[in-house]
Amino acid sequence: MDQRPAYFRVLATFARNSLVRDMMFRSNFLIEATSSVSWTVMNLGFYVLIFQFTPEIGRGTGWGQYQFFVFISAMMIINSIVQAFFMPNAQEFSELIRTGGLDFALLKPVDTQFLISLQRVNWSSLSNIGVGFALMFYSFTKMTFFPSVIQLVLFPIYVACGVAIFYSIMFSLAATSIWLGRNQALYNFWFYITNFSRYPMEIYGGSFAGDALRGVFTFVVPVLIAINIPAQLMAWPLSEQNWWLVVFTLVATAGSLAACRWIFQRALLSYRSASS
Amino acid sequence: MLARATTWWTILRISLEERLVYRGDFAIGTLMRFLPIVTQIFLWLAVFDAASRGEIEGYEISGYGYSDMVAYYLLAMVVRAFSSMPDLALGIALSIRNGDIKKFMIQPIDLVGFLLLTRIAHKLVYYSVAIGPFALVFYLCRGYFSGWPDPDIMASFCLSLVLGFLLGFFMEAAIGMMGFWFLEVSSLLFVYMLFNFFFSGQMFPLDFLPAPWDTLFQLIPLQYLAFFPAAIFLGKVQGPELVNGLLIEAGWVVFFILVSRVALRRGMNRYSGYGG
C-alpha cells in the first residue's frame, strides 16, 4: 500500500474546510471582500492622481497610464493569490511557534512546510483577482496593442513564478520567528520589502543608489521581477520584452523556493517548543 | 496626589520595560519603516522627470518641487510616527469583548489614562531607538531641505506634532470605545484607515487633490495626522492660516477627548460581563 500522503486531496480538504468556515460567517466574508476591493480602488485613485501630472512614469520607459494600469492589474492578481493562500498561514506560523502549537504540525504524517503553508485559505482575498482582470481588460481597450497568444500563455506561468517568489520570501521571514522568539513585525517587514515591487523597475534606474537597489531586489531578493516580468509580458509587445530577465525569472523562482526550503528546515532544527 | 503620581509613574515604567522585552523585533520594525519612503522618492523622481521632460530643476507640481516632495515624505514619516496608534482601537474593542475591561471597573485606574501612558511609553522607546536612523536619514537628505525653519515655525511644528499625537490617540480610542455598542469594530476601523490612507496626506501632499476633494480634506481632522505638520515645516502654511489651523487642530483634540470620555462612561454603564 502506498504510504505517501495524497497532497492534492489534503490541499482540496484544506480549501473546502476554509470555504465552509468562511461561509459560516457570510456577512463577514462579504465585508472582507468589499474591504479589499475598496482598498484597491483607493490605491487606484492615487495612481489616477499621478497621471494628472505626467503622461508616463519615467521618461521613455513605456509605462504610460494604461500600460501602468496593466502593471497594477498584474500586481493585484499576484498579491491576492498570495494573500488568499499564504498570508494567513504565515501569520499563524509565527503564532504556532510562540505558543508551541507547532508540535502538533510536526507530528502529522505530511510534509511540515506543506501543512504550515496551506492549511488555511482566505477566500475573500481572491476578490481582487476579478478587479485585476477587469482593469487589465479595460486597459487593453484603451491601448493600441493587444497581447499575442504567446503572451497570454506565458502570463499565467509568470504569475505563478511571482507567487512562488513572494511565498518564498514570506515563509523565509516567518521561519525567522523560531530564532527571534516573536516576530510581530513580520507583516510590516513583508510589506516593506514587497513595497519595492509595487512600481516598474525602471524607476530605480539612473543613479548609483537606484541601480544598487534594482540589482539587490532583482538578483538577491527578487521581488522586483515577481511583478514586473508578468506585467511587462502583458503591457508591451513581444519585440520590446527583456528576454534575458524573462528567462532569469525562472531561475530566480527555483532559487527562491530552494532557499526558502533550506531556511525552513534549518529553522525547524532550532525549534525548542514552548513548554506545555 | 503623590500616591496617584506614583501609580502613573509605575505604569509608565512597566510599559517602558515591557516595550524593551522584544528589542530585536522592535529594532527591525523601526529600521524597516524607512523603506517605503525610498520607493516613493524614486516614484516621484520618475514622475518629475517625465513631466518636466528632464528639466527637473525648478519644475513644480501644485507648488512642490522635487526637493519639496522628498522633504515632505521624510517629514510626513516623522509626523506619522507621532500620530499613528497601531492596534489601539482593536485592543480596546478586544478587551471589551473578552471581558478584560472588567479590571478597570474594579481597580482605581482610569482606562484612558492607562492607555495614554502605555502609548507615551511606546513612543518614548520608539524615538529613543529611532533617533539614530532618523538623524542619519535627515543628515543624508539635508540637500532636499532649504535650511532650518524660523524658531516660531519650528515651535508651531512641534506643537502640531504633540497635538497630532493626542488627536491620533483620542480618535482611535473613541473608535475602540464603539466596541461597547458593536463588539466588533474592525469594519469601522477599516473605513477609518481607508480614509486615513488618502486624506491624512501620508501618500502625497493634500494640495495635489483636485476639487471637490480639496474641500473634503479641510472639513475632516485627518490632515493633522500627517499633512498639516509637514506643511508647517515646509512653510506651505503661514501667518493667520497657521494659527487657525493649530486652533482647529486643538479643537478636534478637545472634541475627541470629550467623545472618548462620554463613550467610556456610557459604555461602562451598559456593559455586562458574564462568566468568570
Dump pLDDT digits (tens) for A192-245.
888 888 899 988 877 888 899 889 999 999 999 999 999 999 998 888 788 889
Burial zone of A3 (CB within 10 Å; 0-12 exposed, 13-18 middle, 19+ buried): exposed
List residues of B whose CB lies inside 8 A of any A CB: 22, 24-26, 28-29, 32-33, 35-36, 38-39, 42-43, 45-51, 53-54, 61-62, 187, 190, 194, 197-198, 203-204, 208-210
| 3-class secondary-structure state, position B61 | strand
Query: Which of A181, A195, A210 is opposite residue B36, by nearest beta carbon?
Result: A195
Note the residue count of chain A. 276
Flag whether pLDDT at A185 surpasses 70. Answer: no
ipTM: 0.85
Give yes or no for a contact between A165 and A256, defined as CB atoms under 8 angstroms apart.
Answer: yes
Sign of CA dihedral B170, B176, B181, B187: positive
pLDDT in tens, A98-157: 788 888 888 888 888 898 888 888 888 888 899 999 999 999 999 888 889 999 999 999
Q: What is the per-residue pLDDT for A227?
A: 94
- Find, in chain A, the residue whose alpha carbon is nearest to that of B51: A54
Selecting from A46, A181, A192 the residue whose C-beta is nearest the C-beta of B203 gives A46
Residue length, chain B? 276
Q: Determine the residue among B34, B41, B42 to mutate to test chain A binding: the one whose Cβ has the most chain A Cβ atoms within 10 Å.
A: B42
What's residue B26's pLDDT? 65
Residues A93, A171 contacting (CB under 8 angstroms): yes
Element (DSSP H or E) covering residue B165: helix B151-177
Residues pairing with B64 in the sheet: B61
Size of interface A-B (CB pairs under 8 A): 93
User: How many Cβ atoms are within 10 Å of B70's Cβ, its own excluded?
Assistant: 20
- Over chain B (276 residues), the average pLDDT of each successive run of 10 is 79 77 66 77 90 84 90 91 88 86 82 88 80 80 86 93 95 90 79 87 88 83 94 90 93 95 90 70
Q: Is A42 on the interface with B (CB under 8 A)?
A: yes
Report residue A52 as a C-alpha cell.
Answer: 494628472
Tell me whether A105 touches chain B (CB under 8 Å).
no
CA separation for the pair B86, B184 (Å, rounded): 17
Instruction: Please give the mean pLDDT across all residues of chain A.
Output: 87
Given CB atoms, is A195 within the 8 Å cutoff of chain B? yes
The span from the CA of B55 to the CA of B98, in Å, is 59
All three cell numbers of B251: 479643537
CA–CA separation, B31 and B179 (whole Å): 33
Q: Which secondary structure element, helix H or strand E, spans residue B123, and what is its range?
A: helix B111-140
* A185·B26 Cβ contact <8 A: yes
Provide the shortest C-alpha distance from residue B35 to chain A (in Å).
6
**Sign of the Cα pseudo-torsion (A20, A25, A30, A36, in order):** negative
Task: Report CB contact under 8 Å: B42, A199.
Answer: yes
Global pTM value? 0.83
- Reported as a single tens digit per residue, the pLDDT across B238-274 is 889 999 999 999 999 999 999 999 999 998 888 877 6
All three cell numbers of B201: 496626506
A52-104 pLDDT, tens per residue? 999 988 888 889 999 999 999 999 999 999 999 998 898 888 788 878 888 88
Rounded alpha-carbon distances, angstroms, from residue A68 to A63, A142, A238, B174, B175: 5, 12, 17, 39, 37
In the chain, the amino acid numbered A13 is T
CB contact set of B215 (below 8 Å; sequence gap of 6+): none
Please indicate if any CB of chain B lies within 8 Å of the CB of A265. Answer: no
Instruction: Read off the pLDDT of residues A167-180 as tens digits, 9 standing for 90 and up.
Output: 999 998 888 877 77
- Ranges of each domain in chain B: 2-40+70-270
